[in-house]
Every structure is written in structure tokens, then in C-alpha cells.
A and B are shown apart, each in its own frame.
Chain A
């Protein structure tokens, strides 16, 4: 008997049907993947399973008994605990307080036993192999990857019967992913059911026992992972064969015009003496272990950081990047990492978000022309295939991939020379990824330059003309042509670690 099952689930958001008569069942002691394209309904299914979204119709059964979960607390009480891509940690509180929120160890007087709580937090983190996290540290101070690990530890600390990992590994490095996988396998062997969602198909293949594939809001099949080929899985997911994921790289003439030249850029300990050139028509990748300054480099180039040393030239002219507005004027655009807080204004409609960075060009004498905005929005919807009920739909109702397209559309309208992309495909599905790759190559071919940070090595290798590997704030390798391979990227990142340890 399945430990948790859903059948006939339908869920609408406004005019968008997220789930249409969808079903799913998982057994105790298995790792069960949910696969599907962006907007196929996986995340909505998870939200129904763990009480975040009540379904419009359909039934859930928990150990064979019908169940309804009014809210996440009710689902958690029944042992169904999710870890979401959107972090559910409270930033101002300590790691320990977050791990034990709602079931803090108490002293006989009913007060929280702080020292005992921190000790238990330490034990939990050590047990999971997340030793590098201080239980007393404030969550807001942790880098994204560590926050994600805390999130996972928090869920496991609740001793779930059903653990749901929804893109919970998307911000992690391969090494951290390996730690999480070890923990998940241990839970599975102890009889926990694990529902696993990831857009990294090789992660799914490495970890999961079975998978249920979703397409267009309904389940289209459940397969044993070991028996299905990569192509079969992808075919089920998108309803067609996935051939060339990455657009072909055109051959480059030796000397293109330099669009962006950076010399001796430094920012505290985070960026150290960085010099490079980005040429017209080039996609330049940023790689390396997570948190080595790749994101800081993009923020520094967009004028977000104060006190940055060094010189920057755009198309041969020296520019001063005092703030994002100055960077925009200089011809630089940044699509930031955090779609929800930095890239988009979630309650505003698609139209406003698309036009926000370039309002002056749709305004006359301070008044915004609704017609011009609508025209530009429709053009972008078509060009990027943004799936939205209308251009007036608030972007928070869009799926992750479509939100990312809106964030990109906003900067396409600015027609910048240089595009800085911060992990633009994180947490979005294969189909939408492919569209974004094609779009990036199209931009490069049209004469723009792209500086592209990705945590996914295959993307760097598949898409970029050249890639820089960063370590502790410095560029340590520059790889291009046949030298640009996944193995080379990894060994550059790790090799540097070895020499740094030997000398430092």
C-alpha cells in the first residue's frame, strides 16, 4: 500500500490550470522522483501533498486512509515534511532556532533551553555531515548553499515519514549534493519515503528508484529509473525527443571588438586582482566551486558594491560604476540570482515588470504610454515564449521558468552591450533552459557580450565560448576551445585548492 497517494487532483490559479486530474503514489522506503517540464505541475502537486495549497478537487490518502491537510503544520504533524527551493528559514534567527522551530527543547519551566538546543543542532548537523555550519550563526549571514543545507537538516530533524525535496539541491555544489544524497539514501534504507524533484536529470538517475513524469498538469507515466534510458525519460517529459540541447557555437574570427575590459578589479577579500576582456559575440562562462566570488564579480560590474578597486571599460570607454543606474547607462545589464527579490516585483503584472528598467522609452513627458508598454510586452511574450494568462497577470502566478523569462525580457528591452547572467537556469526545466540557451546564443550572434555564471558545469561546457575558473576571489584558469571540458573545470577548481593548501 502506498504511504502517500494522490488521485484526480485538479488545481487552478486564476485562468491557469496547474493540475488537471493528476495522480501520484509513493511507497515507504523508496526515492521517488517527480519529473516534468517547467509548469508541468510537479511543484503544485508537492504543495498539495504538504498542505500549502488545497486542491480544487481530488483526494489524498495517507497509509490508505483519506487525508486532508489544512496547512503545512497539519501535514508535518502527519510526518509529511517538504524542503522547498524557496527557502523557509527565518533570516534573523540562529541556525539552531530555525532547526527546532516549533519543537524547541524546553526547560522544566517551559522556557527554551538554548544551550541544549544548540547542542542538539550540532549533533544533527554533524550526523548529516554538514559539519561546516555553526548552530549559533544567524541564518541571514550564511551563503545560499549552507542555508539550503540547514533547510534540509531542519526537515530531517522532524523525522519525516515522507520527505519531499523540491529543487532542494539546486544551490549546492556537487560535493554538497553528494552529502545530501548519502543522507537521503540512509533515510530511504530506514523506511522513509522520499519525493525528489530536480531539474538535473543526472541527479535523478543517480539517486532515485522510480519516477513519475508530469506533462501539462497531469501524470503521464511512472517508470523504474534503472530501466529507462535518458532519451526515454526526456521524451516522456517533453513529448518529443531532445536533440541538441546547446545551440551550435559559430567559429569566431580571431579579433572581435572588446566590449568589456576589466583591469585589476578588487573588492575586499571577495575579489582579488581580476582582469579580463569580454569580446563582441562572446559567451564567457564563470565557473569554479560555489562561493568563490563569481557572484560578487557580477554585482561589482553592475555597481552594486561600494569601494571596488580597478578600472572598467565598456567599448573602449572608461566607465565609473557607482550604482546600477550608472551601469545601465554604460550598457551593462544584470539578470540577478534571486528572481523573487532582486529580479522581479512579484505582485506587479508581467507588463510592468517587463518595462520597469526602460520606462523612459515608453514615457512621454513623465506619462507612461500604456499602448507602447503593451506592444513591447507582447513582443517579448512572443520572442521568449513567455507562458502567462495575460500581460496583466502578476508575475508571482508564473512558473519559475516563465518568471526568469520575464526577468530576461526586462533587460533585453534595455538593449545592453554586456549581459551579466547570474545562474539564469537555476531551478527551471529542460525545455525552458534550452530556450534560454538559444536566446543567449542569439544575443551573442547579434553582437552582444555575455558573462555567464552557472553552477551547472555541463552548461558552461555546452554553451560558452570561453570560461574562467575562480577560486577565493581570483581568476585562476581561462579555458577555451577543446580545453574547455567538465573534467578541466573540475580539476582547475580542485587543483587550485590543492596548491593553495600546499602554499598557504
Chain B
């Protein structure tokens, strides 16, 4: 059965040692994410020590300060994982804020706000879908597509809300940005919880839960695969274009959720207030340890990155840094944090792997 050639060839070594490559340890795999959390914990420690007081009110303001950016960052994470970038995240926050404050009214605050929220989420998903289709089927560069749609969203936002203002039902603001259990203690199975908690903590917990579930879907695997190696994903039968469309659509949806929270938080409408979230969401994603080349990253890191960015102004305030220099320090702290995350590069002894 075997040919003469096979018999004359030198026999393979009987059982030479197999070099087994194991999965790297949790710490090594998540080094950059852990650095982001370490920086966040350091900043929080400073905040708690320096703040004159740290009561539920302060806890609430801290918790609320990073929610919009975290949600915008969740969207940005989706897109960055595919190796793309979404510059329309900020203007989508603005647009959804403008639309929500236009649709909500004093006469029927509850039902009008519910309708507004639904419409806004549809707008977010729709806008993301447009980005995704242009990137995936139009074969255009994400940075150009989203730069253009960012401008379009801004234009629509200004049309919908030329002047800042508008109505936000106070009940809606309280629901998302207030405290829970402050007047009604919770009693479950005879155990009573009476410490007030910021309601935004529950929002964040929900976002984390959504991420952890999402992470186990086939779509998530495809998004990571497309960002890690588009060619390999294609050869593995992954529908690359459809995967990208999904990523951008989810990003738009997350941006509109961010816009809804911003609406509750600011209790007003402004067609430009959200624009800052474009670059900050990218910063949060990078601080959180994602690779802008795609394929690596986590919302858990982005979350830490978002709160690092949100906390910097408060910490600077405690050190009585003049607002004129705030941006300088903000940028410097960002650079240090990102460099800390990249420290691993200096331990890479194969210089090819640094690139």
C-alpha cells in the first residue's frame, strides 16, 4: 500500500517532545484592560480622599458622569473591534438628544417620552445601518464614511433643534440619573437594603450584562474574526460585509442610548452638546486596551477608560488646576495612561511584534 519512496525515506522520530502552547494566563491576556482598571481605581481613590465629602449625592454625580461616554464607548468598541472607526458617534448623541427633546411634551410626559425613546433608538440603529452599508457594501473607508455621516447627523440635529432648550420630563431624568432606595428601603427575603444607590449603576450593570451575553454570540465571534484577519474570516465562510453592517448598526444603537442618557442628565436639548463624545469614545476604547487595528478589545476595558476620562476634570478641580490648563493635563494624563497600557511593548523582544 505504501510506495517504495515512503519506505526509503528516513522514519519520523518516534515521539519527539511536543511543545504544547497553553492559553496564556488571565493576567497576561487582559494586561491592558487591568491597567485601565488600575488607573481608574487610582483616580477614584484620589477622588474619595480629596473630596470634602462622599455621600450618596457625590456617588450619584460620579456614577452619572461617565454613563454617556460608556454607552458611546460601547458603540465605538463594536466598530473598533472590526478594525474600523466611527466618527459619527458624537453627532449621533447630539441628534438623538435633539430629537428626544423635540418629541417629549409636558401634556403627556410619560407616553411622549416613551415614544421619543423608541424613535431615538430607531434613529440610532438606522444611522448605524447607513454607516455599515456604506462601509461594507460601498467599500469605503470607515473614517471617511463616518466623517461624512457625522456632518449629516449634525446638520439634521441643528434643523431639529436650532436653539438649545426643549422639554425633558423630570420623572424621566430622576429615573435614569437619580438615587434608588433613598426613601424606600428594599426588603428581599427578610434582608433590608437601605443605602441609597445611584440608578445609573444599574444601567451600567445592565450594559455589562448585555456585553457579556453578546460576547458569547456567534455575531461577536464574527466581529472579532473580521477585525483580527478579514481574509481568514472570509475564508472561514464568515459573511464579512454583513458582520460589519451589524457592528455599525449596534454602534449607532449604543450611541442613541448614550443620547437618551445625556438627555436625562442635562434635562435639555442641544444640537452640538454630544459632539465631544466622538473623540472621547475613541480615547476610552484605546485606554480600555482595544487595538485600533481590530480584533482585540472589550467593553469592560472601555468602561474603565470612560470613567478615567470622566473623572479627570473632577480630580483636577480638587487640585485647584485652573480651567485654562485643564485640557493640557487631561491630554497628558491620557498619554500616560495609554503609555502604561502599552508598556508591554518594551518587553517584546522580537521587534517585529511591536508593529
Contact = CB atoms under 8 A, between A and B. Distances in A.
7 contacts: A88-B236, A112-B217, A132-B18, A154-B236, A173-B12, A177-B12, A490-B10
Given A206-B3, A206-B6, A87 B13 contact: no
Main secondary structure of the interface of B (DSSP, over half): loop
A175 B10 contact: no
A490 B20 CA distance: 22
A65 B218 CA distance: 33
Interface residues of B, number: 44
Interface string B216-230: 111001001101110
Contact of A142 (B21, B221, B224): B21
B6 A102 contact: no
A213 B228 CA distance: 37
B351 A305 contact: yes
A114 B216 contact: yes
Contact of A305 (B24, B228, B349): B349
Interface string B1-40: 0110110011011101111111110000100000000000
Contacts of A98: 236
Interface of B: 2-3, 5-6, 9-10, 12-14, 16-24, 29, 213, 216-218, 221, 224-225, 227-229, 231-239, 295-296, 349-352
Contacts, number: 150
A134 B237 contact: no
Contacts of A305: 349-351
B231 A88 contact: yes
Given A93-B225, A202-B9, A141 B21 contact: yes
A386 to B, nearest CB: 25
A486 interface: yes
Interface of A: 52, 71-73, 76, 84, 86-94, 97-98, 101-102, 104, 106, 110-112, 114, 131-134, 136-138, 141-143, 146, 154, 173-175, 177-178, 202, 205-206, 225-226, 267-268, 289, 291, 299, 303-307, 323, 342, 457, 486-487, 490, 493-494, 497, 501
Given A93-B228, A101-B237, A304-B351, 4 more contacts: A92-B295, A175-B16, A206-B9, A267-B349
A205 B236 contact: no
A24 B349 CA distance: 48
B234 A72 contact: yes
Nearest to B349: A306
Contacts of B20: 132-134
B225 A101 contact: yes
B15 to A, nearest CB: 9
> Which 5 A/B pairs are nearest by Cβ-Cβ distance?
A132-B18, A88-B235, A206-B6, A73-B237, A175-B12
Nearest to B18: A132
A112 B24 CA distance: 21
A142 B24 CA distance: 11
A304 B225 CA distance: 28
Contact of B228 (A84, A90, A494, A497): A90
